[in-house]
Amino acid sequence: MISVYLCEDDKRQLEQYSRLIHRFLDFEGYEEMPVYEFRDPHALLNAAEKNGGTGLYFLDIQLNSDINGLENWPGRSASWILRAILFFLQPTVK
């Protein structure tokens, strides 16, 4: 089964995105699809490596880390990236 990975450093936004993703999966009948939430991109990369990289990824572009959502992927093998579908999250300006 494919997994969903969500990486957002803002706790409130992480909770909002998580609720939205869970509602969508429930509505579509995929409530058993695992959703992994991370505030640290390094933890996400470690978990994804253990799972072989296959999954749906929702990545914050601006993380308070030494890497961001766009920089998570350098150094990953081409086959690993080909098994991933990436969505980049950019919060709206208020």
Helix then strand count (H, E) for the chain reads 3, 4
pLDDT at position 27, please?
Answer: 94
Within 10 Å of residue 29's Cβ, how many Cβ atoms? 8
Within 10 Å of residue 88's Cβ, how many Cβ atoms? 12
Report the C-alpha gap between 53 and 56 in whole angstroms. 9
CA 46 to chain centre: 12
> Per-residue pLDDT tens for 42-68?
888 888 878 877 788 888 877 777 776
Closest CA to 5 of 49, 52, 59: 59
Is 0.95 topped by the overall pTM? no
> Per-residue pLDDT tens for 6-41?
988 889 999 999 999 999 999 999 999 999 999 988
